[in-house]
Structure 1
């Protein structure tokens, strides 16, 4: 899942980045509305965690532009104001969810994952293909009942492939969905991750490579 955190408190940003990446998400950050607008113009995000009270371009305006642009990105607003009127106003702008500061980190992760499942064509929280089962909420994957010890990136790649329901997924799409903006687009990280994932999935092979096209789950 690709997430953008928009928050002007640098110390809070670092905490959120560390925690969300540990939870298996690919996360970028913006320290203000202007930087958020720039990133949203060039990247597709599943979820934007958006502080409402930004010092340059207000979070309301960032949200409004995102919604009016027809993006499939879901918006989770953060604010220090927790009154009902503030929540109603934020949701009326098009935000999908609202969380008042201070918040429990586990709740933030749960809300982001719930929104992420709705960001693109909806996919079930449990993905199944033959004897391969992935519970995206519990972050557990098994094959033939055998637990798969996957890294965060391996889990993310497999989640995207299973969610594509047999369609081809390019390396560029995997980089966009599973890695963050700091990843070199010319790196072989997708190929290396795929090799390790295939090794852990075992035989018979689950992931097919289509030369010059990408990867797909074998049906």
Structure 2
């Protein structure tokens, strides 16, 4: 099997997985994608460029709606195969992450520790258990509360060329955690590190958006 054949098969498989999705998690779409197109230079020759779009919707046959981020116009006659394969993989990976989070919300009793602890305490009150601190229920409450560790405020710097200013926290964090290497990567700093870059005039404000996220 040639490299081109393997590449085409990978693209086909990813598109098949995406178009098979029927239950779309909240916040998945719209999603930033890039499409390779030709842009005429001064000589009239076509020059390959990556153009930024928002994927708005898609159908089981792979046809999709792309929104031009510059004009705001929706193009309904596009196809998922036009999207750069790296961004197809990012799109599908983000879907998997959101699906796992949704499943955890539905199945993990400790996903909301405070609510779970209150439920346990209500059970105790209903059963009128004495010496509560010695009970297994008390131990479960302690375990639940211990799992609610406070997240720290972090500064995420995400590139202007790849994201809209109002990109979701999920998109930004996913890009930072991704193993895909970009020329301008998404960065994560502590508030002190970010302040130091600003004070030392090292922050590239012409390259990055800034978002404070508890992570």
When Rg is computed on C-alpha atoms for both structures, the one with the higher figure is 2
Larger RCO: 1 or 2 (CA < 8 Å, sep 6+): 1
TM-score using structure 1 length: 0.26
TM-score using structure 2 length: 0.27
